[in-house]
Amino acid sequence: MQTEATRLFSQDVREINLIGQDTTCFGEDLGIKDGLALLLERLAQIDTPHEKWVRFLYCYPNKITQRLLDTIAAHKTLVPYIDMPLQHASAPVLKRMKRGANGDIFLRLIERIRRTIPGVAIRTSMIVGFPGETEQDFQALCQFVQAAKFDRMGVFSYSDEDTSASFQLDGKVNARTIYNRQRRLMALQRKISRTRNRALVGSHFPVLVEGPSADSDLVWQARLSTQAPEIDGVCYVSDAGEQPLRAGEIRTMRITAAHDYDLTGEIIGAPPPASKSHAPLVQIRPGAYHEVPHLP
């Protein structure tokens, strides 16, 4: 994978995302301890003439080691971003999901992550309406989310599929209750996200320019390193400065306004030297071959 990443970076790729059902298990089948940390360290050390970002997605909380956190903190190339789908915070619900831990254990892990990696963004996903989830369980989840103050969070409604093990569980939650719980939890997260975004106003951050917004060709959009592609918010460019923007370049943005999930800002400073082509993003699944998309 290091060879493939080197090739991609040499072709002007700015960002590589490593994706797996549980990337923290990388190397375990080969008996390699701390395999993901070792891989990330090697990717971070690839020499390139331009700034690069490396991110990994989807990790189980019980596999997040201190070695992994220290590795992310030690390398600027490794973006400060942790995506760990916790699913719930109530111990009884997690047990029925065949998961361990509880909200208190998760809070201690979150505190350790934030203490180790300055400026880290933590994303998670939750499921509401899992069979057996009581109103007390849901309230425990809401209290946990309020305490954790996640930077990003998705909330999914449980769907009863006859091919899943949970289909056989009793205590099914009715559709109306599931819908209301999903809305209530997302409303809580929306307030948290807005508050965290407002704290960024006035600050300067590197952003990866993606190109014209899908909403309007008159507005360009970019992403912070703490905004993963397609699943998180974006940064809208209100002022591109005196130099034209090019998709794939990394520029500096001053955040001027905050919204629930997105940010608005102005580009400051001179652009980097022009290169032959700009391929801002490649997503890698271990073992797969990926063509590099070239943008105009």
Domain assignment of residue 278, yes or no? no
Domain assignment of residue 294, yes or no? no
Domain assignment of residue 285, yes or no? no
* Cα–Cα distance, 268 to 259 (Å, whole number): 21
296 vs 291 pLDDT, higher one = 291
- Tell me, yes or no, whether 76 and 212 share the same domain: no
Domain end residue (candidates: 198, 233, 257): 198
Give the pair of three-digit tokens for residue 185.
Answer: 């939890």
- Tell me, yes or no, whether 171 and 111 share the same domain: yes
Write down the pLDDT at residue 294. Answer: 32
- Tell me, yes or no, whether 184 and 164 share the same domain: yes
Write down the pLDDT at residue 36. Answer: 94
Give the pair of three-digit tokens for residue 8.
Answer: 């991609």
Number of structural domains (the chain) is: 2
How many CB atoms lie under 10 A from the CB of residue 246?
17
Write down the pLDDT at residue 68. Answer: 97
Domain assignment of residue 286, yes or no? no
Backbone angles phi, psi at 95, to 5 degrees: -65, -40
Domain assignment of residue 289, yes or no? no
Domain assignment of residue 218, yes or no? yes
- Tell me, yes or no, whether 106 and 212 share the same domain: no
Region 118-145 average pLDDT = 97
Write down the pLDDT at residue 61. Answer: 92
Write down the pLDDT at residue 131. Answer: 96
- 167-214 pLDDT per residue, tens: 778 889 999 999 999 999 999 999 999 999 999 999 999 999 999 888
Task: Identify the band that residue 100 occupies on the pLDDT scale cut at 50, 70 and 90.
Answer: confident
Write down the pLDDT at residue 205. Answer: 95
- 156-165 pLDDT per residue, tens: 999 887 777 7
- Tell me, yes or no, whether 136 and 194 share the same domain: yes
The domain that contains 44 carries what CATH number? 3.80.30.20
Write down the pLDDT at residue 274. Answer: 59
- Tell me, yes or no, whether 159 and 212 share the same domain: no
Query: Which range scores top for mean pLDDT: 22-36, 56-70, 229-243?
Result: 56-70
Domain end residue (candidates: 168, 198, 228): 198
**What's the mean per-residue pLDDT of the chain?**
88
Please determine, for residue 272, whether its predicted confidence score (pLDDT) is greater than 80.
no
- Tell me, yes or no, whether 130 and 24 share the same domain: yes
239 vs 208 pLDDT, higher one = 208
Domain assignment of residue 58, yes or no? yes
- Of 255, 251, 263, the C-alpha closest to 14 is 251
- Of 26, 31, 22, 118, the C-alpha closest to 78 is 118
- Tell me, yes or no, whether 130 and 153 share the same domain: yes
C-alpha count within 13 angstroms, C-beta hemisphere, residue 154: 12
- 42-58 pLDDT per residue, tens: 999 998 888 899 999 98
Task: Identify the band that residue 295 occupies on the pLDDT scale cut at 50, 70 and 90.
Answer: very low
Task: Domain of residue 224: give its range.
Answer: 204-273
Task: Identify the band that residue 259 occupies on the pLDDT scale cut at 50, 70 and 90.
Answer: very high
Three-state SS string across the chain, please? Answer: CHHHHHHHHHCCEEEEEEECCCHHHCCHHHCCCCHHHHHHHHHHCCCCCCCCEEEEECCCHHHCCHHHHHHHHHCCCECCEEECCCECCCHHHHHHCCCCCCHHHHHHHHHHHHHHCCCCEEEEEEEECCCCCCHHHHHHHHHHHHHHCCCEEEEEECCCCCCCHHHHCCCCCCHHHHHHHHHHHHHHHHHHHHHHHHCCCCCEEEEEEEEECCCCCCCEEEEECCCCCCCCCCEEEEECCCCCCCCCCEEEEEEEEECCCCEEEEEECCCCCCCCCEEEEEEECCCCCCCCCCEC
Please determine, for residue 296, whether its predicted confidence score (pLDDT) is greater than 70.
no
- Tell me, yes or no, whether 95 and 119 share the same domain: yes
Domain assignment of residue 262, yes or no? yes
The domain that contains 266 carries what CATH number? 2.40.50.140
Task: Identify the band that residue 122 occupies on the pLDDT scale cut at 50, 70 and 90.
Answer: very high
- Tell me, yes or no, whether 181 and 81 share the same domain: yes
- Tell me, yes or no, whether 114 and 211 share the same domain: no
Write down the pLDDT at residue 215. Answer: 76
- Tell me, yes or no, whether 56 and 188 share the same domain: yes
